[in-house]
Structure 1
Amino acid sequence: MDETSIILCVDDDSTVLSALRSMLSTHFGSELQVEFAESGDEALEIEAELRAQGSELSLVITDFMMPGLRGDELLVQLHERSPSTVKILLTGQSDMSGVKRAINDANLYRFLEKPFANDDIVLTVRAAIRAFCQERDLIRQNEALRRMNAELEEIVAARTEELVEKNRLLEVLAVTDKLTGLYNRRKLDELLDEELVRARRYEVAVSIILLDIDHFKRVNDSYGHAVGDEVLVGIAKLLRDHSRDADALGRLGGEEFVVVCRHSDAAASMVAATKLREVIAAHGFPGVGQVTASFGIATCRADDTAASLLARADAALYRAKGAGRNRVEPEHD
């Protein structure tokens, strides 16, 4: 017993209490703190005082027949307050109904018949205290395990959330142009394939706008690649701000961008491209000033692949370049 255990002895016979006091003091000394009560009501008061002080009864030994609360009734009430307390019932009568009640409703540890033998009491008390300490340690261990499990669950949940977020970011990076945040070439090829299948299945129009920044090499040569990158980022932002939510935006590479216009025919995509051309030409880019872009447009045909659609838009773009730049050219029939 690492800690001092508290025992409560309850009997209306002071002679019995005195015998218990002498016997427990002789065999246990300072190992036990022994409290005495001459009635069930007094026993309940002592238990309440101990509980208020943060102490718990390890063991209660009570007589069965007492004025007021009988021993079995006392044990039932104590059990409601302190289920872990070990209960021993002393009885000089063969009233098994009370013993059964104490067993069923108060988790009675043992009952001893009067007159009791000192050795029997000592052995029973020692075993009862050991049982209480084991139960208390088990409760503490279970609580520690519960806390550890809760902490582990929190760690696992946090790690899982972290992994989910990292996987999400990896998925985004796998389809995103690192500089501009627009779709990369790989994602654009995949997306165009899907849109062409959808266009044929549902007989809806899909067009693409291909644009290339005019004289971009001069920007890099005159102002440096860092400034050139800022221009690319600025173009991407203008595309986001002035395109429909339904449109998909990507960077094919270098200074070339593409807008996938869902549910847009040639006329609608011409309007959209003209608007983007004007917005870019009117924008002032930090450190550079005005830049322009040339545009080529192509609309999905029945036998198109992503490559053939891009090729027609690219041909239209180069016609725009050859015609003086800063203009929009549709595909040739």
Structure 2
Amino acid sequence: MDERLKYAPCGYMSITHEGIIMDVNQTFLDKMGYTQADLVHKHLESIMTIANKLIFHSYFYPFINLNGQVEELFINLKDSSGQSIPYLLNGKQFISEGVEIIDCILMQMGNRIDYELELRSAKKQIEEAYWEKDQALEKLQQIHMEIEKKQAELVEMNTLLVELSTTDKLTGLKNRRFFQEKLEEQIALYSKTGQPFSLFILDIDHFKKVNDTYGHQTGDYVLEKLAGILKSHSRKEDIAARYGGEEFVLILPNMDVLESKILAENLRQTIASSAWEIIGSLTVSIGIATITPQDSNTSILKNADQALYASKANGRNRVTHIMNLNEKPL
């Protein structure tokens, strides 16, 4: 740990997604009366009361799973003497060498505000409820089961929200934001391993005419059906996304120049030969770029777009790879 972080004016620790403490700074250890050996490789919940464990499960994990961070979680932690010390916890998730780590900043609360008093009182009542006599045990277990059920529902809802945030509502394909993230990941993977990939930009020919002639409802039908064709022609590892309007993009891992041209031509022919109710026929133009050592996420997109423009300029309903444009005549 960096020396400045080790003695920062606030507590710091890093934990795994399961809550195991991986590192903790000296500031926190000094304030709480612990040593590194007392906490490292122990579960964070080992220094929490039962009530705080409940709060931690109901708030911290769902927000980390949904947002990747938690801000100003009020929580009490037990020091080495067993005394409950109030903290405000800020946490943020990141991936290090494929392992998920959560960094936590812990600010000790020096003043007791009204909200803190109410929260402490509520937590005390929960702790007392856990230790009530046998006649209250059945009710307490029922409450605990209900909390677990609500927590599971919250996690399920959070998963759905994450899916919705990366999906195009009309077509069901991934959206532009998700595509940009995956493109950056592919370029990073190429830099490390040299694993090639190709990128398609696909544009519907004369789509404005479809909307103007048959209406936007028919235009939406065309976009949805085309999305279905792209899904059926995509491998499990491929990323198909709606880039915007009538433009679609595909990321194709482990696909070189020749393979990408063959796939694009098959896709073009499939779309052209499909039955398009109401409008009768539909064609697309496709631009392709395959990653090179000089490429960034911006340049490979630009190259694919330039190839798409060439397909449009040369009569539409065709496939162009940027390599064909860059070839110099003999």
The TM-score normalised by the length of structure 1 is 0.56
- Which position in structure 1 is the counterpart of 2:134? 142
Report deviation, 1:175. Answer: 1.6
Give 1:197's aligned residue.
188
SS at match of 1:207: strand
Decide which of 292, 300, 304 is 2:283's aligned counterpart: 292
Distance 1:245 1:236 in 2: 15
Q: Which residue of 2 aligns with 1:267?
A: 258
Aligned mates of 2:278, 2:252 — CA distance in 1: 32
- Aligned counterpart, 2:299: 308
Give the letter aligned to residue 274 of structure 1. E
Please give the per-residue CA displacement for 1:299-320, whole angstroms capped at 9, x wherever unaligned.
1111211111011100110111
For the pair shown, the structure with the greater C-alpha radius of gyration is 1
- Return the alpha-carbon distance in structure 2 between the equivalents of residues 212 and 166 of structure 1: 34
In the alignment, which of 158, 164, 173 is matched to residue 182 of structure 1?
A: 173
Q: d(CA) in 2 for partners of 1:293 and 1:252?
A: 15
Q: Alignment partner of 1:319: what SS?
A: helix
Give 5+ residue unaligned stretches, structure 1.
1-140
Amino acid at match of 2:306: A
Alpha-carbon deviation of 1:142? 3.2
Alignment deviations for residues 273-305 of structure 1 (CA, whole Å, 9 cap, x no partner):
111111111112333232110000001111211
Q: Which amino acid counterpart does residue 275 of structure 2 have in structure 1?
A: G
Cα distance per residue 1:209-252 (max 9 Å; x no partner): 11001111111111211221111111111011112112111111
Aligned to 1:246: 237
In the aligned structure 2, how far is the partner of 1:211 from the partner of 1:227? 19
Q: CA deviation at 1:165?
A: 1.4
**1:170 match: secondary structure:** helix
C-alpha distance in 1 between matches for 2:137 and 2:276: 60
Say which of 154, 164, 172 aligns to 2:155: 164
Structure 1 match to 2:143: 152
What is the deviation of 1:260?
A: 0.4
After the TM superposition, which parts of structure 1 deviate over 3 Å for at least 4 consecutive aligned residues? Answer: none
Does residue 320 (structure 1) correspond to residue 311 (structure 2)? The answer is: yes
1:225 is matched with which residue: 207, 211, 216?
216
Aligned residue type for 1:142:
D
Q: Secondary structure at the match of 2:250?
A: strand
Find the aligned partners of 1:196 and 1:209 in 2 and give their Cα distance: 15
The change in CA–CA distance for 1:176 and 1:148 in structure 2 (over 3 A counts) is same
State the Cα deviation string for residues 8-27 of structure 1 (Å, max 9, x = none): xxxxxxxxxxxxxxxxxxxx
1:67-86 maps to which residues of 2 (within 5 A)?
none
In the alignment, the residues of structure 1 paired with residue 289 and residue 212 of structure 2 have an alpha-carbon distance, to the nearest angstrom, of: 32
- The structural deviation recorded for 1:152 is 1.8
Residue 37 of structure 2 aligns with which residue? Answer: none
Percentage of pairs with the same residue: 42
Separation in structure 2 between the aligned mates of residue 169 and residue 297 of structure 1, nearest angstrom:
33
Distance 1:153-1:270 versus aligned 2 partners, 3 A rule: same
Q: Which runs of 5+ in 2 are unaligned?
A: 1-132
SS in 2 for 1:204: coil
CA–CA distance in 2 between the matches of 1:254 and 1:274?
A: 22
Structure 2 counterpart of 1:175, one-letter code: T
Distance 1:247 1:262 in 2: 6
| Residue 197 of structure 1: how far off its partner (Å) | 1.1
Distance 2:217 2:139 in 1: 51
Change (3 A) 1:197 1:142: same
Q: Which amino acid aligns with 1:209?
A: F
What is the alpha-carbon distance in structure 1 between the residues aligned to residue 277 and residue 163 of structure 2?
A: 28
SS, match of residue 233 in structure 1: helix
Q: Distance in 2 between matches of 1:279 and 1:149?
A: 62
What is the distance in 2 between the residues matched to 1:192 and 1:182?
Answer: 15
Aligned-residue offset at 1:206: 1.0
Correspondence for 1:54: none
Query: How far 1:146 sits from its partner (Å)?
Result: 3.2
Residue type of the alignment partner of 1:231:
V
* Alignment of structure 1 residues 11-90 onto 2, 5 Å: none
* Worse overlay, 178-187 or 210-219: 178-187
1-structure distance, mates of 2:232, 2:221: 16
1:158 and 1:324 map into 2 onto residues whose CA distance is: 59
Deviation of the 1:188 alpha carbon = 1.1
Q: How many residues align?
A: 193
Kindly provide the amino acid, as one letter, of the partner of residue 161 in structure 2.
L
Q: Secondary structure at the match of 2:289?
A: strand
Cα distance in structure 2, aligned partners of 1:292 and 1:317: 13
